[in-house]
Amino acid sequence: MQIVSVSSLKGGVGKSSVTLGIASAALQAGVPTLVVDLDPHADATTGLGVRPHEGRDVGEVLRRPRRGALERAVMASAWAVQDGRDSKALDVAPGSARSSHLDRSGYRDKDLGRLERALAGVTGYDLVLVDCPPSLSALTRTAWAASDKVLSVAEPSLFSVAGTKRTMTAIAQFEQSRTWAVPAAGVVVNKVRHSSAEHRHRLAELEEMFGPLLVTPVIPDLPVWQQAQGAAWPIHRWPGAEARDLAGRYTAILHGLLDRAD
């Protein structure tokens, strides 16, 4: 089971959208996947068509994270149910504002193992995607501590490039200071408009900064993505050429993740 955190230290770059795109690719490919929504805004949970039951969300589970405790919060995504897939095709550990109680500056080092303990012993999944808050918080560090890989999401803009540099620096510092070192990291570039000279310039800047850590292909900024998300529908089942293009890109990113896990 590979655990991948999807992170950004800047909001608005489409971090949850990237999580959903990879989840859509995994469902299409038949890769049993669990999405863990650590973001208190719970956008990934909403996008997957899930409403958590009382007391069955990530925030509640991580209050007292016993080994394998996350399983009691897991629910089938609406995507998998609508598709008639078997159990664990695409499940969600729902997020909620209740996880905010863990998102504090005064956390202790041992608190960073909460998600790792809650996931220990959870079986039946080949991939776990952790959607992190858009900040370098205790929740984000808790996700990194449990992860085999961190994907930092960027967009081709000045502030996002700076934020991505901060994210990758923070990951490197985290690896040096913790026993929970992240074995691998990469940068996914989202919302790219190749017709924009500014976007082309920033994309070249990201390539120069991160070289082989830059994930290919990049994700273009296409209106069809907002349409599919608004309908809480997987991009791999949305009609049209633009949707097929996006779906193919997310499938390629998924294959890259799985190939590196082998």
Pairing of strands 75-76, 90-93: antiparallel
Domain ranges (residues) in the chain: 2-261
Which residues of the chain form beta strands (DSSP E)? Answer: 2-7, 33-37, 75-76, 90-93, 127-131, 149-154, 184-189
pLDDT confidence band for 99 (50 / 70 / 90) = confident
* pTM for this entry: 0.93
Q: Tokens standing for 19? A: 């999580």
pLDDT at residue 126 greater than cutoff 90: yes
Q: What is the DSSP-derived secondary structure letter of residue 57?
A: S
- For the segment(s) 2-261, the CATH number from 1.10.287.1080, 3.30.70.2740, 1.10.4030.10, 3.40.50.300 is 3.40.50.300
pLDDT confidence band for 59 (50 / 70 / 90) = confident
Task: Quote the CA–CA distance of 16 and 92 in Å, as a whole number.
Answer: 13
For residue 113, the SS3 value is helix
What is the average pLDDT across 63-85?
A: 84
Task: Quote the CA–CA distance of 92 and 130 in Å, as a whole number.
Answer: 10
Three-class SS of 164-178: HHHHHHHHHHHHHHC
Radius of gyration of the chain (CA): 17
- Position 262 scores a pLDDT of 47
